[in-house]
């Protein structure tokens, strides 16, 4: 954003008392700003405010310089005050909105940026800022509409394509999550996964997912069909937007991050790690790049390196719930169960239907001898058990509790699920 075009000029106030000194301070402050000497520019605008207390143009310019100096709290407080009293100062509205986003107060960005976009929908900074505020508030549909508007108007705007891809990706995830919660419709989720893997080149994994879908197929419900079609359409839109972005900005950290995700989905973990590292080198404080590295290290069993990256990802983004789960899983594997349990319970508050986390929680409770809690967690997880592992663990815990009949029933279910899985795998091996 070119903030130089946003400043007001002191000649507007020349007829007032102290005009010459006031104008000279403005001139010097502009020179300081041009040199990047924000400390001196701020001091001069403050001196101008001593001459003209409450001067809207001085406060406006001060807010701009605060923003350029990355003093976002000061920029927000100053610009918001100016905008409330002077709605005609578009620069104050813009800085108030953008600074609110930087201060993690996206809700406060909506009014000033929304007013700018309503007046001028070609104001790129306001439009993209407003879209990012909606994303931060998980208001993904209005955010996608804004990004769509910008990509239609300026097809070469890589930032807008990236924002659009992220919106559609999250909307697709939400639709998939809703689909997974519909009782008895797991085959749809597996089919969706298969189509996604097939579309991204993961032929073998796609075949496995389709095989699982066929094995669990029952009469589809209208609700499941709607969510399936929605998730499928949104995923396609996300891939299309990402492709546009990568074409426009192939050397960007975002492109490296996207390529890392693609390689990881194909199980090309060394290539994925290289892309994530490239993204991290270009953007050292990017939570997603750290999460990508941590996830790969976690998948290949390098848990010390994984934990280091995952903790950093959480420091940079406390809402990175996947990092929370992976850290907890590492703790369970290492029998650091007292560390794992609060992490898993925190994760399950955000994603209560996460079977792997529920199963890990059961294992952690079993490790420390809290078998009743372990049984509750494992029984909830066993609803989605496909390979028999969770039912087997549940049988072990129930036996510890002396509930022999229940344990035998769980063991029988485990054997049946294992046999069904072996048959699916055999069928896949026979498929040309």
Dump pLDDT digits (tens) for 266-285. 788 999 999 999 999 999 88
| Tokens found for residue 156 | 């070469």
Kindly state the DSSP code that residue 6 receives in the 8-state scheme: G
> In degrees rounded to 5, what are phi and psi of residue 70?
65, 25
Out of 3-7, 42-46, 84-88, 382-386, give the one with best mean pLDDT.
42-46
Q: How many residues does the chain have?
A: 432
Query: Which residues, including other chains, have CB under 8 Å from residue 356's CB and lie 6 or more apart?
Result: 325, 329, 381
Provide the pLDDT for residue 221: 63
Provide the pLDDT for residue 140: 93
Question: What's the predicted TM-score (pTM) here?
Answer: 0.67
Provide the pLDDT for residue 386: 76
Query: How far apart are the C-alpha atoms of 206 and 199, rounded to whole Å?
Result: 9
Of the listed ranges 122-131, 189-198, 260-269, the least confidently predicted one is: 189-198
Report the largest interatomic distance among the alpha carbons of the chain, rounded to a whole angstrom: 94
* Region 58-69 average pLDDT: 93
Of the listed ranges 5-19, 70-84, 242-256, 364-378, the least confidently predicted one is: 5-19
Average pLDDT over all residues of the chain: 85
Provide the pLDDT for residue 428: 57
> Which pLDDT band holds residue 187 (cuts at 50, 70, 90)?
low
Provide the pLDDT for residue 183: 52
* Cβ atoms 307, 338 nearer than 8 A: no
Residue bearing the bigger pLDDT, 430 or 316: 316
Query: How far apart are the C-alpha atoms of 279 and 272, rounded to whole Å?
Result: 11
Dump pLDDT digits (tens) for 381-402. 888 787 889 999 999 999 999 9
Query: How far apart are the C-alpha atoms of 310 and 323, rounded to whole Å?
Result: 5
Query: How far apart are the C-alpha atoms of 54 and 270, rounded to whole Å?
Result: 59
């Amino acid at each position: 954003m070119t903030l130089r075009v946003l400043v007001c000029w002191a000649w507007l106030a020349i007829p007032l008392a102290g005009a010459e000194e006031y104008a000279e301070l403005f001139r010097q402050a502009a020179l300081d700003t041009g040199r990047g000497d924000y400390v001196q520019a701020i001091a001069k605008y403050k001196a101008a405010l001593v001459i003209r207390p409450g001067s809207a143009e001085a406060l406006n310019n001060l807010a701009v310089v605060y923003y350029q100096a990355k003093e976002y709290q000061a920029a927000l407080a100053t610009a918001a005050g100016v905008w409330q009293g002077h709605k005609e100062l578009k620069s104050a509205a813009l800085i108030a909105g953008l600074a609110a986003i930087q201060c993690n107060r996206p809700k406060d960005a909506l009014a000033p940026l929304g007013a700018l976009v309503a007046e001028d929908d070609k104001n790129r900074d306001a439009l993209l800022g407003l879209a990012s505020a909606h994303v931060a508030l998980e208001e993904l549909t209005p955010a996608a509409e804004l990004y769509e508007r910008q990509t239609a108007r300026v097809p070469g705007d890589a930032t807008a394509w990236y924002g659009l891809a992220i919106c559609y990706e999250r909307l697709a995830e939400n639709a998939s999550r809703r689909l997974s919660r519909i009782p008895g419709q797991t085959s749809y989720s597996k089919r969706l996964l298969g189509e996604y893997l097939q579309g991204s080149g993961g032929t073998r994994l796609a075949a496995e997912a389709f095989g699982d879908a066929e094995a669990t197929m029952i009469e589809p419900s209208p609700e499941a069909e709607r969510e399936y079609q929605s998730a499928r359409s949104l995923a396609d839109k996300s891939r299309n937007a990402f492709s546009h972005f990568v074409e426009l900005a192939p050397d960007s950290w975002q492109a490296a991050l996207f390529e890392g995700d693609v390689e990881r989905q194909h199980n090309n973990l060394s290539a994925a790690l290289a892309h994530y590292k490239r993204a991290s080198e270009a953007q050292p404080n990017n939570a997603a790049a750290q999460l990508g590295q941590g996830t790969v290290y976690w998948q290949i069993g390098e848990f010390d390196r994984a934990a280091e990256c995952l903790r950093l990802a959480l420091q940079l983004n406390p809402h990175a719930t996947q990092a929370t789960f992976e850290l907890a899983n590492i703790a369970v594997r290492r029998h650091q169960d007292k560390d794992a349990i609060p992490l898993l319970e925190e994760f399950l508050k955000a994603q209560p239907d996460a079977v792997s986390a529920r199963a890990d929680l059961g294992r952690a409770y079993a490790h420390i001898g809290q078998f009743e809690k372990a049984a509750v967690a494992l029984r909830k997880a066993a609803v989605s058990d496909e390979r028999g592992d969770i039912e087997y663990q549940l049988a072990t815990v129930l036996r510890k509790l002396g509930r022999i009949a229940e344990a035998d029933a769980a063991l029988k279910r485990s054997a049946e699920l294992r046999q069904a899985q072996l048959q699916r795998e055999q069928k896949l091996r026979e498929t040309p």
